[in-house]
Amino acid sequence: MRVALVFDMEGAAHIQDPRDVLPMYPGYWDIGRRALMIDIAAAAQGLLDAGVDEVGVISHHGAGENPWPNVIETLLPEGARSVDWEMKDLAEQADAMIQVGCHAPGGSPSFLSHTFLPGFRMRMGDEVISESHEWAFAAGVPLLGIVGSEALQRERGASLADVPFLAVQTGEGHDVGRPVLGDAEQTAAAIRTFAAGSIDAAAAARPLKPTDVSLVASLHNARDVGNEVVAAGWTRLSETEFALEGATWAEVDDAVWEAVELAYRPYTWMFPEIDWTEENAMALDAELLERIDAVWSGWTQERHPAWFAPTAQDTLEGFPQAMATD
């Protein structure tokens, strides 16, 4: 049996400072990656303990054209390796999925909550869609379990309600996270046990394949990119809201990602197209770093709307007023 371990960083148990998840901050290199590896390595080892033949570790944190080096390869157990398997083709590579480091969707009053990035929200019917939903829907393989934030466990909605969940992180507000299970050793033991148990229960796990998909998204910068969202296949409902329908998730997923990319546009300057090594990251221009910190600090210290209504289009999410139009 081969299992895909799909991870993010913001919902890792011992990530407590928002700066520890971005590679332009020293904390990412000194603290964040090692905190993340507690969860990844423990989950991978638990899967292997239960008889899994191979664990493919897939990064979904800063995993664009210039991917961030989130995984410390030497800390992976034998039998686990980093892979670049595409979600839409995952059924050709893996028999099942487990998710690690997962966080609540955008608008949640919880640590570092967002949906792919600040500035984007999406619902399927009455259900708020998180990144965990998209991974599961796009992959089409059984989802064995989720390890992540307490807020995601509370807010995951009907589609993920029956998926086994281990909450390892808590924290109200975007700016401070706290581990649920105590120290690193206790956390690792709990995750390892949970992951092994997910294999014992694998026969009952099922692929999550929604049909007759009906989505509504709202974007913080819809005034600027609305026509492009429509060109990507969405129907405009209001100044900030767009609808999308398809028979299966596979029919809508590309258009979802196009909308995400458009919502990301105001942040592109924050993430230069560099090889994200520690040396390159620490050599970034001081003025650029100051501007990045102004946005990041502003975003983590504010409460954000659960939905970008047409009446809430004065600023971009996370940007100080003076920078909103930069």
- Domain boundary (204, 235, 270) is at 204
23: CATH: 3.40.50.10780
Look at residue 324 and tell me if it is in a domain: no
The number of domains in the chain is 2
**Which of 186, 204, 222 finishes a domain?**
204
pLDDT at residue 172, as a whole number: 78
Q: Tens of pLDDT along 171-191?
A: 878 899 999 998 999 999 999
Its pTM stands at: 0.95
Whether 321 shows a pLDDT value over 60: the answer reads: no
- Distance (Å, whole) CA 288 – CA 270: 8
Lowest mean pLDDT among 2-11, 275-284, 297-306: 297-306
Whether 199 and 235 map to the same domain: the answer is: no
Handedness of CA 102, 103, 104, 106 (dihedral sign): negative
Distance CA 201, CA 122 (A): 31
User: Using 50, 70 and 90 to split pLDDT, how confident is the model at 312?
Assistant: low
Q: Within this chain, do residues 199 and 215 fall inside the same structural domain, yes or no?
A: no
321 part of a folded domain: no
Question: Which DSSP string corresponds to 122-154?
Answer: EEETTEEP-HHHHHHHHH-SBEEEEEEEHHHHH
Cβ neighbours of 132 (radius 10 Å) = 28
Over the range 219-235, which residues count as b (16 or more CB within 10 Å of their CB) and which as e? bbbbeebbeebeebbbe
Q: Are 73 and 157 members of one domain?
A: yes
* Separation between Cα atoms, residue 245 and residue 130, nearest integer Å: 18
pLDDT number for residue 316:
85
**pLDDT tens-digit series, residues 8-51:** 999 999 999 999 999 999 999 999 999 999 999 999 999 999 99
Domain boundary among 146, 176, 204: 204
Give the integer Cα–Cα distance in Å for 305 and 238. Answer: 17
Domain membership of residue 21 as a residue range: 2-204
